[in-house]
Structure 1
Amino acid sequence: MTVTVQPTQTDKQSAEHYVNEVFEAVKKRNPNETEFHQAVKEIFDSLVPVFATHPEYMKNGILERMSEPERMISFRVPWVDDQGKVQVNRGFRAQFNSSIGPYKGGLRFHPSVNASIIKFLGFEQIFKNSLTGQPIGGGKGGSDFDPKGKSDAEVMRFTQSFMTELSNHIGSDIDVPAGDIGVGPREIGYMFGQYKRLHGGYESGILTGKGLEYGGSLGRTEATGYGTVYFMEEMLKDKGQHFKDSTVVVSGSGNVSIYAMEKAAQLGAKVVACSDSNGYVYDKNGINLETIRRLKEVERKRIAEYTVEHPEAEYHEGCTDIWCTPCDIALPCATQNEIDEAAAKILVANEVKAVGEGANMPSTLKAIDVFQSNGVLFGPAKAVNAGGVAVSALEMAQNSMRLSWTFEEVDNKLQEIMKNIYRNSVDAAEKYGHPDNLVMGANIAGFLKVADAMLEQGII
């Protein structure tokens, strides 16, 4: 039985003042970084009950230190395109917090990448990684390079240039990057090869998400999507519900989306819609996953091509309108802030029962308020999509031991991790007086482990 803590009103006021004061300082120090401000605001507000109960965290400046990266790296990435023209992109790595382990987090290649997005992702990663129970700290990186429409040779030249600089800042006991949007097996392979070339040795633990032929883990490709569904199924079961016989909408059509759709279908759900950055497809008979997988993973085509093979399906231009599709369960698995307040209200009006964030921060703060105030079961990103980094940590463990586990071994470990994340989030929410609020529960559970480690290691 979880015992609820009961701080006094004075304690609450003191905690709120501290949190607001630090947040204003973060905004002043990081002007115009709206995504980073949003991530910090959501987490800070969740932690007021903790500071009201444990003033020692305030006295030791935990939030001030936690919201400032230990190291923020920005660098030039020059490369030559197929026409012989020199191109220049910008690379980033935010090494946010190493209190519980080496920095761990993906690399994102997308035109929208800037310091704000990398810092929001890195800050979120601190708590997500803590929730997995694995010894990994928080970090994130990437570039404003767009791999779409580029030849394999152009992608290779860019990634080799990117890794030439990044290699100075990573290592199996320092910082272990992985993939994210725009960074899949091709990009990871090229970067691993360049690191090996530069360092003159085979260090399998410097990247995760690698190919199975050179140190990758079975189950890593499926991990984020499968983990999303494992978490949501655990939450649904707690309320007497299931994926079975449910209608599901999944945004995106990349790695996370594909395997979330696959696992949801295995559990008896019908997935009726998915999207890419141009638009979405609706198939009342259920999305044909093999078609999506071939279009996106093999042929690298737009999702509009789905209707060529499935003329009964509908293609709609504009990806955000996917949330007008009636469903029982919504899984936003594309990108940040794809569900705003208006979209959330449409989902509620269409009687959505549960929303699980398979992407990083896909719902705005106002959208989350809409879901919670209307009794929609809501699984926050740092808990729901932690499966990918959890299996990345398992890949690191296998690399260290120089062995490989079976798919079943990895998948069983993933299921157990996701169940533990759900249960720890529920327990933290109940203990600090906000039962059923998994946003607060996940933030608090992730925070406590890191904060305690920071206290023990001194002011660094």
Structure 2
Amino acid sequence: MSEYAASVSAALEQRYANQPEYLQAVQAWLEMIQPAVTDDPRFERLDLLTRMVEPERMLSFTVPWVDDQGMAHTNHGYRVQFNSAIGPYKGGLRFHPTVNPSVVKFLGFEQTYKNALTALPIGGAAGGADFDPRGKSNREIMRFCQSFMTALYRHIGSDTDIPAGDIGVGAREIGYLFGEYKRLTGRSESSALTGKGLTYGGSKIRQEAAGFGTVYFLARMMEQQGETLEGKRLAVSGFGNMSWGVCRKSAELGGKVVTLSGPDGYVYDPDGVTTQEKLDFMLSMRAAGEDRVEAYADRFGVKFYAGKKPWEVPVDIAVPCATQNELDVEDAVMIVANNVRYYVEAANMPATAEALKLLRLSPRILTAGSKASGSGGVVVSALEMVQNSVRYSWSRKEVDDRLRSIMNNIYDLSAAAAAEYDLGYDLIAGSDIAAFKKISEAMIAQGL
């Protein structure tokens, strides 16, 4: 690491020692972009790295709401508007008990560089609250969303910051948030939020987009190696929207996902999650809000492994889809031992720094990071904004074709950047460098 980058890293470590997710993401990124940093003296002269790793604005607010028994509760809400060099802030909202300033800043940081790879004019942001929608009634969730938007609405808008969904924030929550935004502003500003329902400005395949995008990126990787998904077995974690999309598109392209997981363990389905019945059951599991994957084993008579992770299953491809740091060194060792050929991240930063290093050093495994392979969701969110602006809804095929084209371009950008700096087939470093160069040039052009 260059002396300048090392000084930025040391300052961050001292300032944010109590924000581990954010610190881990930034330090990993600083290592990846080193070839590009040492290549241009402007970065140190303009202190560009410090400006790129710190958010432009961080919002924190209380969210009071009343449950169905008339009892008041207070949660904590956040929005980090990380970087707007290439367009208005854009990123998800997460409702989950683990949400805190570190998680939100990490998500905003990752989103900034993920969005830059799409070639669409959007900056990076993230937000959410330590509210758990599980076990809450629709009316309780509506009241919470309305209170959350009351605090947030002054800081968002189609040319300022466009939130979308994430963990715990689906079509239902986006609907309540959008409805309250309209009431508070008096404007039917369709691009103020994305992930909307199809009846009021949403885009087709938005629900599946994140998973579809990951599979398209994977398919492009395999194409460059003279392979296809036909007959390949995939280990997937989670069973939410991301996992569901990966299952669907993998099945369409001839592969089969043989594992799903939850906090309770994982299931192994040797026939694969390939039928419409199984895909529909995944949706019903998520809608039930119980966060249990064992229900899949009960329904289809497959094995359930309580308290375990799916990475012990021998497969061709590993695709972590659940959450940050879900995959540790022990899991990485199992993936290497099972001779997995492709490791492709769908979730944001799903592997610990040590686990990812082990996977990247394995000579057999081809790896892709979430900034590149996990960007399908934001691609379709941005396409939703385009459709809103022209007051026209593309067909499902049109959106899917555009998504595939953009994911192929993201792969090509990542591979080209890796080749430019003699990094071999390091798509993770390549994608970080490609995004860094785009944002840094925009920031330099706009002055201090």
What is the TM-score of this pair, normalised by structure 2? Answer: 0.97
- 1:414 maps to which of 377, 395, 403: 403
- Please tell me the residue identity of whatever aligns with 1:211: G
Pairing 1:308–2:298 present: yes
Shift in Å, 1:435: 1.4
CA-to-partner distance for each residue in 1:433-454, whole Å, 9 max, x for gaps? 2111111100000011100000
CA-to-partner distance for each residue in 1:252-301, whole Å, 9 max, x for gaps? 11011101111011111121110122221111222353353343244444
CA distance in 2: counterparts of 1:296 and 1:128, whole angstroms: 29
Q: 1:370 matched to which residue of 2?
A: 358
CA distance in 1: counterparts of 2:281 and 2:265, whole angstroms: 14
Asked if 2 retains the 8 angstrom alpha-carbon contact of 1:253 and 1:292, the reply is no
Q: 2:103 matched to which residue of 1?
A: 117
Q: 1:7 matched to which residue of 2?
A: none
Q: 2:447 matched to which residue of 1?
A: 458
Q: 1:271 matched to which residue of 2?
A: 257
CA distance in 2: counterparts of 1:294 and 1:51, whole angstroms: 44
Asked if 1 retains the 8 angstrom alpha-carbon contact of 2:116 and 2:435, the reply is yes
Shift in Å, 1:369: 1.5
Asked if 2 retains the 8 angstrom alpha-carbon contact of 1:292 and 1:303, the reply is no
Instruction: Give the fraction of aligned pairs with identical amino acids, expressed as a percent.
Output: 50
CA distance in 1: counterparts of 2:80 and 2:187, whole angstroms: 26
1:148-167 matches, cutoff 5 A:
148-167=134-153
Paired residue total: 443
Per the alignment, in what secondary structure is the counterpart of residue 75 of structure 1? Answer: strand
Pairing 1:426–2:415 present: yes
Q: 1:134 matched to which residue of 2?
A: 120
Asked if 1 retains the 8 angstrom alpha-carbon contact of 2:135 and 2:289, the reply is no
- Please tell me the residue identity of whatever aligns with 2:351: S
CA distance in 1: counterparts of 2:229 and 2:255, whole angstroms: 5
Per the alignment, in what secondary structure is the counterpart of residue 306 of structure 1? Answer: helix
Q: 1:8 matched to which residue of 2?
A: none
Asked if 1 retains the 8 angstrom alpha-carbon contact of 2:116 and 2:438, the reply is yes
- Please tell me the residue identity of whatever aligns with 2:165: G
- 1:386 maps to which of 375, 380, 397: 375
CA distance in 1: counterparts of 2:21 and 2:298, whole angstroms: 37
Per the alignment, in what secondary structure is the counterpart of residue 262 of structure 1? Answer: helix
1:26-425 matches, cutoff 5 A:
26-287=12-273, 289-301=278-290, 302-311=292-301, 313-318=302-307, 320-375=308-363, 376-425=365-414
Between stretches 182-191 and 263-272, larger displacement belongs to 263-272
CA-to-partner distance for each residue in 1:379-431, whole Å, 9 max, x for gaps? 10000011110111111111111111111111111111000000100010111
CA distance in 2: counterparts of 1:450 and 1:135, whole angstroms: 11
Asked if 2 retains the 8 angstrom alpha-carbon contact of 1:328 and 1:354, the reply is yes
Note closer, same or farther for the CA distance 1:108–1:401 as it changes in structure 2 (3 Å cut): same
Between stretches 281-290 and 131-140, larger displacement belongs to 281-290
CA distance in 2: counterparts of 1:210 and 1:364, whole angstroms: 33
CA distance in 2: counterparts of 1:321 and 1:334, whole angstroms: 11
Asked if 2 retains the 8 angstrom alpha-carbon contact of 1:189 and 1:210, the reply is yes
Note closer, same or farther for the CA distance 1:325–1:292 as it changes in structure 2 (3 Å cut): farther
Shift in Å, 1:309: 2.1
- Please tell me the residue identity of whatever aligns with 1:417: I
- The root-mean-square deviation of aligned C-alpha atoms, in Å, is 1.2
- Please tell me the residue identity of whatever aligns with 1:457: Q
CA distance in 1: counterparts of 2:294 and 2:353, whole angstroms: 31
Q: 2:437 matched to which residue of 1?
A: 448
- Please tell me the residue identity of whatever aligns with 1:439: I
- Please tell me the residue identity of whatever aligns with 2:231: D
Pairing 1:16–2:2 present: yes
Asked if 2 retains the 8 angstrom alpha-carbon contact of 1:295 and 1:303, the reply is no
Asked if 2 retains the 8 angstrom alpha-carbon contact of 1:291 and 1:306, the reply is no
- Please tell me the residue identity of whatever aligns with 1:272: V
- Please tell me the residue identity of whatever aligns with 2:201: G
CA distance in 1: counterparts of 2:303 and 2:49, whole angstroms: 48
CA distance in 2: counterparts of 1:95 and 1:141, whole angstroms: 9
Between stretches 277-286 and 343-352, larger displacement belongs to 277-286
CA distance in 2: counterparts of 1:284 and 1:398, whole angstroms: 40
Per the alignment, in what secondary structure is the counterpart of residue 38 of structure 2? Answer: helix
Per the alignment, in what secondary structure is the counterpart of residue 11 of structure 2? Answer: helix
CA distance in 1: counterparts of 2:424 and 2:67, whole angstroms: 54
CA distance in 1: counterparts of 2:306 and 2:203, whole angstroms: 37
Shift in Å, 1:67: 1.1
- Please tell me the residue identity of whatever aligns with 1:76: T
Asked if 1 retains the 8 angstrom alpha-carbon contact of 2:261 and 2:309, the reply is no
CA distance in 1: counterparts of 2:91 and 2:354, whole angstroms: 27
- Please tell me the residue identity of whatever aligns with 2:426: N
Pairing 1:438–2:438 present: no
